[in-house]
Structure 1
Amino acid sequence: MGIFTFKKRTLHYILLTFFLLWNFVDVFSQCPTITNTSQSFCDVQSPTIANLQATDNGGGIRWYATASSTTALSSSSILVNGEDYFVDDIIGTCGTRQSVTVTIYSAPTGANFQGVCVTNLTQATILNPQFSITGVGLKWYTVPFGGTAISTSTILNDNTIYYISQTNPDTGCESSRLSVFVNVGLVPVPTGNAIQEFCNDSGNPPTIADLVASGNNNWYLTSDFGIPLDPSTPLVNGQSYYATKVDPPCESDDRLEVLVNIYEPNDAGNDGSRNICINEVTTTPLFNLYDLLGGTPDNTGVWSGPIVTTNGFQGTLDVSSMTEVGSPYIFTYTVSSALCVTDTSTVTITVLPLPTASVTANPSTICQNGTTTLTFTGTPNATVTYNINGGTNQTITLNASGTATIVVSPTTTGTINIVSVSSSGTPSCVNPQTSSIPITVLPLPTA
């Protein structure tokens, strides 16, 4: 009997355990399950708890804010971006709850006023990297609601509001839209001469401010970077400079290259001169006027004057036709160029007359051992060579008024002879003048 009773009780326990295990498995097999643990929506859908996805396995579905909370969320509760939501059955007996992480795509982020600077309007599209808008699958519209998204190649209009959504990559829904006031700054590459030339006027040398390009400009030493050059910066011959067009706040990306050539000022040298004695005109050999200029004259000039010259800038001159009456002869040397101010200098050729002189004696008759005063008159500052009665030649220089006097004591009757007259200055013209005046010397009376 004892053994029979034990087996009967054992059977009862086995059956009870099987019943409990069967009900336990049955209960948990009715708990909801989640296939997608990350669920996303768009803000325009106003998603609620009712939009969360879970599989009802027979025990119903309830959503909770935490893994252990006992109060279920209302199906109309608004979902919050980034929050986790936990699912259970109706009676909350599933134990460890499965969760869903919610992502809600709202309007993209970015400044509400944005501008782009372009050198060509074809660059003013939604793909321009100067726009700073954060979002996924951005779409641009011309209206805040509805409408059709514009294509990526559409050229944006200046001073226009556009509306931008982002796209949920999981469901394809679109968010609300960010409004952006778009400013399009068109700053094309400036235009101008690729080679610009200047004169290096020592009083006003060329600077950056003298470079010419269309529009308002910044000038640089490189084609793609650097800081703008100060307008007062002197230009360098042979240097290339690069201009951008500036329309604040925009500046063109591409730059105009300009090569600078700087020329030295025209230099005709300093004025020169030459004097020629009239008696040497016909025997003076040809000479170059250029050699008479002072300084460092350019050899690119031309000569003009009363007599035609030869040999270009050398200005070779034949003076054989010159006269005292036509003197002085002025020749002009002109150096000119397209960029620098014309410069001129002159060479003056003067034909000098021969100096002259005369002499008088007062008195012209003297007693032996007496004296007389010789008065010389003639060309001012000339030197007169003379002798008395053919004796030793002597000289006397006339003053600025052309006079000079000496006292002499001839011993015999004869003549006062002027042998020659020499002018002062360069050259000294010599007049081989031969003239004389008589002078009488009376003998003393005898007792």
Structure 2
Amino acid sequence: GSWTGPGGGAFGGTYNPAVDPGGVYTYTVSGPSPCPDSVATVTIARTVAPNAGTNGTLTACSDDDPEPLIDHLGGTPDAGGTWTAPGGGAFAGTFDPASDPPGVYTYTVSGTPPCSNASATVTVGVNTAPDAGSNGTITVCSNAASFNLFGQLGGSPDGGGAWTGPGGGAVSATYVPGSSTPGVYTYTVNGLPPCTNASAQVTVDQVQAPNAGTNRSFAVCSDDAVFDLIDELGGTPDAGGSWTGPGGVPHGPSFDPATDVSGAYTYTVTGNAPCANASATLTITVRAAPNAGSDGTITVCSDDASFSLLSALGGTPAGNGTWTDPGGDPFSGTFQPGASQAGVYTYTVTGQAPCTPAVATVTVTVNTAPDAGNNASISICSDDAPLDLFAQLGGAPDAGGSWTAPGGAPHSGSYDPALDGPGAYTYTVTGLAPCDDASAVVTVSEVEAPDAGTSVVISVCSNDGSFSLLGQLGGTPDNTGSWTAPGGGAFGGTFVPGTSQTGLYTYTVPGSPPCSNAVSTVDVSVV
């Protein structure tokens, strides 16, 4: 027979509520002459379905103003629905980041029978507003110890921010009096969008430290000419200070080897608060003596650059001495970490008679550099089993390190595609000071597994209308697969009762490497 719609136009026989109007649909079967045609009608009443919009997302800052969640639904949702909070309780519909929890908020619009209710969700995330603390001020002396600007901020500022100096350029958080520029230092903590950045300032006033030069020890002959003591100090001492001789007795600015005794001659320059007075001492021996410096100790990393052992000695050693290694053999004086032997190196400066040779030692300790292996990249399927990231690293990494996820959070080192997200996973092996930590990265890319839905068993009547087998599968199968009929031949996916073969129809969705294909079945019987 043939169908006509409410307006009398031809109709295919399959009613689609989304596009076809309600009304009277007429089915006519032509009778062979002289029989009249047989006619039957179907009257369809059509009710408009409720519209709750489509699912949406909202990321807010913890100090943002409240806002209506309905504005974050997709589509054109009907007004007048009701909201439920993540725990299932009633919700007014206006989200306040200061008091409402993040999570999934559900909007429901009631349907008029036979229409079901419509629901859509807004998934809300709340990012904490950054805190840069409050402004601070400090006055320092130009020779004071380095200090962390972060500690001068008031309040409880967040870590991880960035500093800019008085000129606006990026600087470290460490202020080095005498090297760093005094002025206003700005600390900025970046807000995770949509949060704006937070800033606070530390104003540093710096008073120039007095400079008495640096200490020196030297020998003179008793027949040397008179000389100014200030000229023998190291560095660039300020003029205008005062001298004391051995025992603290005031002394003039000049030294006469013919009359002055050996000992410590101290130069003092008065400092302006908060700077203390500065002093430097000349230790004078009225006799030529060799100087090998003072013993030193140094700890280096096995991958450090070569260096001169002379720089590790204390005092002011002469540069014309000779070195011996821990075994007593001659040594060049240049230590190569990773190649040179650790231990005690001896420096000897030969003196002119009656002076005996001068000796000083440098004790060198070498710590082995950590090895985190080499970077690697892997691709996995989203339904793969968990894997050990350590085994993916190249080289020969040290065990016992720690892992961090792409966002910087700690990670176990076992990647589970069902729980973890793709990205750069960093393995860090802590170095024993002075060795730096070693890091290597495993970059994980994840391919979405195909979804063929879940298998079902159905029974239909032989005079039922044709239907799509895809709609019978459980779950949410991808629509990119292909069907095979019970005999193994290709099948279009539309089952026609009374015509199509009964049995097991197989739906296969191909997977992109490294994912395997996904398969499900529809077992159809016809009554």
TM-score relative to the length of structure 1: 0.40
Q: Which has the higher contact order (CA 8 A, sep 6+)?
A: 1
TM-score relative to the length of structure 2: 0.35
